[in-house]
Amino acid sequence: MSDAEPVKSIVTPTRLAYEYTATGTQARFLDEISRGRILGQRCPACHKVYVPARAVCPRCGVATTEPVEVPGRGTVTTFCVVRVPSENIHLKLPFVAAHILLDGADIPFFGLVGDCEASEVRMGMRVEAVWAPRETWGPTLANIRHFRPSGEPDVAFEKFKEHL
Amino acid sequence: MAENCAVIGVGQTQHDSKRIDVSQVGLVREAALRALEDAELDWKDIDALVIGKAPDLFEGVMMPELFLADALGGAGKPMLRVHTAGSVGGTTAIVAASLVQAGVHERVLTVAYEKQSESNAMWALSIQLPFQQGVVAGAGGYFAPLIRAYIRRANAPEDTGIRVALKDRLNALKNPYAHLKFPGITFEQVAQSPMLWDPIRYLETCPSSDGACAMVLGNAKAAKRAPHKSAWVHATAMRTEPTQFAGRDQVNPRAGKDCAKELYAKAGITRPRQDIDCAEIYVPFSWFEPMWMENLGFAPEHEGWKMTYEGATALGGDMPVNMSGGVLSSNPIGASGMLRFAEAANQVRGLAGEHQVEGTRRALGHAYGGGSQYFSMWIVGDQPL
Amino acid sequence: MREVAVVSFAQTPYVRRERGRSEVEMLLPVIGQAIERSGIPKSEIGFTCSGSSDYIAGQAFAFVSAVDALGAWPPISESHVEMDGAWALYEAWVKIQCGHADSALVFAFGRASMGTLPETLTMQLDPYTLQPLGVDAVSLAALQARALLDAGLCTERDMAEVAMRSRRDAKRNAFAQLKGDYEVAKILSEPHLISPLRKHDCPPISDGAAAVVIAAGDLARSKCRRPAWIRGIDHRIEPHQPGFRDLTVSPSTTLAAHKAGAASAPLDLAELHAPFTHQELILRRALALPAAVRINPSGGPLAANPMMAAGLVRIGEAAQRIHDRDAGRALAHATQGHCLQQNLVCVLEGE
Amino acid sequence: MDQTDGGVSFSAVHVVEYAYRRSVGSVLGRFFTELRDRKLIGTRTRAGRVLVPPCEYDPETGEAVDEFVNVGPAGVVTTWAWVHKPSAKHPLPRPFAWALVRLDGADTAMLHAVDAGSESRMRTGMRVQPRWREKTVGAIQDIECFEPEAAR
């Protein structure tokens, strides 16, 4: 035994469980998305619409008040093509992760773009949400599987350059 | 009111992907002992400790400074622990400097570290939280769309990032402590390295490192007794803005611009590119060099890439940037900001070794973190301001 | 040194479990109230510093979202300590001493209820020889209590009296969580949770947040009828291993109090961050507090113990009593780490 | 999902789980290597204080420490706490004591569990000895727990 290699490291498994509760605004968003609707929330001070709905406008530091429904349709403002595997990713590589400005929203929504080659994705491309089968819907963003090209003409850079 | 503060000792560890030869204790002591040795001081000469690191989940110890304080000679002393995301190494140095500037302490030891090999940074940075939109692929997946936006806005040549990476990787060959070294690296090797998060290539990306950095900061009296030349803190500044809000410019964030503006005003700098001799800035992906050149006011908006192109940011250029090889070559996250600040200090001390920029009298240290939202910076000079 | 005072304080009611609100939503009204009560416009506050812990929230960079509660636009000069908010106040105080700011907002928050707090705090231990054993925070406190009892420095009755007094006084604190009339004899008849500690010797698990505004000299005088001047503030740490220290004493508290000038004039009250009953007894001796000094009129951490904020709350509570002319000179204490490893003392005074 | 105040709420369990691999350095490495061989060691500071668990530094001063000393295996309980209902993360599934144990030859105490059967068998100052695991790996858990010292 004493001839064995000296100990250089130890392994300590750790596991902590936390119970997360969706707050009021988050819960409303999740409830709406479980019915196929995307809920935003408007700031009473700067009048910008946040999607997903959030309780507080970070710019103004005030509670948002007015719920606003937005469509699952928008413009890719910028994106990256992910070609690197990672422990937390279970998607086929490569995939496109994009900032998508949904129509009527003032902040891009994070989404994946599929049903086309990664090389076809471009800034300004119009996309629409592809929903999972209705019977599988739950209170989760996973109801939107990804976005796909909608076929509408591209939007000029000038029109979305504030929303990268 | 404020006392002058000087960097009188600097130390860092060898950075590597896995420093399996040391414990967390051994890692921080390696850097701290080198800083003490540089200042020719002993543990007992230190009045207070300021420790910085990024998320505790990396090492799996909540507030690890509690078990590290006595390993750093901290028993019976004040100890602070700073955490401001990726900028933390810089902010930690600023907090330590403020203890001297306020006249609270004469000599402060500040240490920042990360031992990322104890877990996996990609895991810690991508843990999916219930009810929230996920971060898809760690920092690379987060920042790549912003880089694409920069390229579009500035109409920058696509090989700018490759040029930055090549320069920093060549600089790292002159830095004995650097983690990543590719002797004889060429433009083609960087260009042909795999795309990870298009438009970011493998060799344009920072590594995940184990490492630590330490500095001894002192007042004028302590500096007078120091064996080596001191770097005098001319100005410090920090700025924060929210991660996301409607209309936020994440490519050229206002927090960075405002931070630089305050910093220059305090340091009496009116023409940054002329008044500052070199800069060590936080560039985790090569494209952030031109982005920060604009943000820091070294180049007009949309023209930062020209500095890279013209060779201005190379050793020997008119505004050398990341002489040490930068974050692209060593990235113990919690220490990465302090390494930038320490390199700036060693440049004005004339102790930067092979990557010394001759005649440096004023240097910038810069760090940023979060979603390009936390900034901390300092200007150090070879004389008190 | 510049004169600096606490000019306002705000806190949430403390609850066992905050369900409907995120940290940001908890902070929003508290920060708003602290700023409003300070009379200093938000845009003129020179520095912001917060205290919180990623492990309490179960996520890396948990403090980043708290920035959303600040309306940090234009961008602000801001910092964060992975410590109790009392140390955030210390950093802010230093910033003002440097002349880098004339006022500062300090806040802290924690929703410990999301996890299992005693187990979360296991993560705070030396990762080589303590954390792998799975020793929890209550057990470590119990080791300390036994050492104190063995040394004849207190009795279980003394401990029960601390619990009784804390929860009785908390009846007058609208924000407190655990309050009511308890009889010492009844407490002592209850079984031990982890001997020698009973449930009554332990703090509740609390969710909550607090905010304080501090300001320098004339600014404080112009905004606050009776500023709570910080006459001294200092903090010290001890070695980490519980078996390397004498657990019955708190030399770091004694030293911090000495450096903060606590003994230079009589105190009216002390807000002590003693999460366990026996720790109050250790602190009282470490601070050499005479019997006349009121201890924890707020009920203290035995009535509400929001992790990462409870130390800042002590400073806020002590300052509030000076604002209200309920006290002339007060001591506030904060602690973190196991068995009172690190301690901060802040001496506050009215004019 | 449940209904409250006419609104909806959602809860989810969020698990943070990782097996950390910690390099231990030469001093703790030696300690764990000795534990694997069922032996206990400490380090001696320049001031002569014997530290167990060993440190590569003097916790009072920060000075480097590299002199090893054999200690134990038995020692004295300096303080203890009785756990009536062990949690899943505790080292023993039955009621036990946490204790600080000052091993023979040491000046400091180390934390571990004591399997004493009942609280009434525990007292400060009692002597305890380590109970080793059948298979040791080089970790603090190689000591399964301490137990009251066998009558001599």
> Dihedrals φ, ψ of D89, to 5°?
-90, -5
Range of the domain at C160: 117-203+230-349
**pTM of the model as a whole:** 0.97
C188's enclosing H/E stretch is helix C184-189
CA-CA distance, B258 to B379, in Å (whole number)?
15
Name the token pair of B198: 């298009």
Question: Does the pLDDT of residue B282 top 80, yes or no?
Answer: yes
With an 8 Å Cβ cutoff, are A16 and C20 in contact? no
The domain that contains C152 carries what CATH number?
3.40.47.10
Distances B18 to A86, B116, C262, D22 between C-alpha atoms, Å = 19, 8, 47, 10
In which residue ranges of chain C is pLDDT below 70?
none
| Beta-strand pair B374-381/B48-52 | unpaired
**Which residue from C58, C133, C110, C129 is spatially nearest to C275, judged by alpha carbons?**
C110
Nearest CB neighbour to D32, from listed A1, A2, A10:
A10
Please tell me the distance from the alpha carbon of residue C254 to that of residue B196, in angstroms, as a whole number. Answer: 55
Count of CB atoms situated within 10 Å of the CB of C346? 31
Q: Are residues C29 and C131 in the same domain?
A: no
Query: Which residues, 6+ apart, have CB-to-CB distance to B95 below 8 Å?
Result: B50, B80, B82, B110, C79, C91, C94
Give pLDDT tens digits for C258-271.
999 999 999 999 99
Confidence of residue D151 (pLDDT cuts 50, 70, 90): low
Of residues C51, C39, C128, C41, the one with CA closest to residue C88: C51
Q: Answer whether residue B374 is part of any domain.
A: no
Q: Are residues C164 and C276 in the same domain?
A: yes
CATH number at residue B41: 3.40.47.10
The single-letter code of the amino acid at A72 is G
Chains that touch D (3 or more CB pairs under 8 A): A, B, C
B110 belongs to a structural domain: yes
Residues with Cβ within 8 Å of C265's Cβ and at least 6 positions away in sequence, in order, are: C329, C349
Q: Parallel, antiparallel, or unpaired: how do β-strands A73-82 and B195-198 relate?
A: antiparallel
Q: What's the Cα-to-Cα distance from C100 to each of B237, C7, C224, C232, C290, rounded to whole Å? A: 9, 18, 21, 19, 38
Query: pLDDT band for position B136 (50/70/90)?
Result: low
pLDDT of residue D6: 45
- Residue of chain B minimizing CA distance to C2: B1
Q: Which two tokens stand for residue C108?
A: 């802290």
Sign of the CA dihedral running B250, A50, A48, C26 = negative
Rg of chain D over Cα atoms, rounded to whole angstroms, equals 20
Nearest to B60 among C48, C87, C127 (CB): C127
Which phi and psi angles does C10 have, rounded to 5°?
A: -145, 150
Tell me if B94 is assigned to some domain: yes
Give the model's confidence band at D1: pLDDT under 50 very low, under 70 low, under 90 confident, else very high: very low
Mean pLDDT for the stretch of residues B373-381: 98
How many structural domains does chain C have? 2
pLDDT digits (tens, 9 = 90+) for B169-185: 999 999 999 999 999 99
In angstroms, the CA C324 to CA C143 distance is: 39
Q: Does B102 touch chain A (CB under 8 A)?
A: no
Contact across the interface for C242 and D111, Cβ inside 8 Å: yes
Domain count of chain B?
1
Domain residues for the domain of B51 are 6-121+208-225
Please state, as a whole number, how many other Cβ atoms lie within 10 Å of the Cβ of residue A47: 12
Burial of B270 (0-12, 13-18, 19+ CB in 10 A): exposed
pLDDT tens by residue, B318-328: 999 999 999 99
Q: What is the pLDDT of residue D5?
A: 44
Provide the H-helix boundaries in D19-74.
25-36
Six-digit token pair at C232? Answer: 């001294």
Between CA C132 and CA A156 the distance in angstroms is: 58
For residue D150, what pLDDT band results from cuts at 50, 70 and 90? confident
ipTM of the complex in this document: 0.96
The conformational region for residue D105 under phi > 0 = left, psi -120 to 50 = alpha, else beta, is left
Q: Is residue B92 part of a domain?
A: yes
Residues of B in contact with D22 (CB under 8 A): 23-24, 59, 118
Nearest CA-CA distance, residue D137 and chain A, Å: 9
Q: Do A86 and B250 touch (CB under 8 A)?
A: no
Indicate the SS3 state at residue B280: strand
The alpha-carbon gap from B62 to the nearest alpha carbon of chain A, in Å, equals: 12
What pLDDT digit, counting tens, does each position of D48-81 carry?
999 999 999 999 999 999 899 999 999 999 999 9
Where does the pLDDT of residue A161 fall: very low under 50, low under 70, confident under 90, or very high at 90 and above? confident
The amino acid sitting at C189 is S
Interface contact B131, partner A, CB < 8 A? yes
Q: Provide the number of CB pairs (under 8 Å) joining chain B to chain C.
A: 181
Report whether the peptide linkage leading into residue A149 is cis, meaning its omega lies within 30 degrees of zero: no
Spatial distance between the Cα atoms of A47 and C221, rounded to a whole number of angstroms: 38
Mean pLDDT calculated for residue range D10-18: 92
My answer on whether C149 and C210 are in the same domain is no
The mean predicted confidence, pLDDT, of chain A is 91
**C91 lies in the same domain as C221:** yes
For residues C265 and C144, membership in a common domain is answered with yes
Contact list in A for residue D19 (CB cut-off 8 A) is: 11-14
From the list B43, B115, B131, the residue facing D61 with the nearest CB is B43
Q: Which residue of D has its CA nearest to C133?
A: D91
Distance in Å from the first CA to the final CA of chain B:
14
In a domain, B261, yes or no: no
Is residue C78 domain-shared with residue C196, that is, in the same domain?
Answer: no
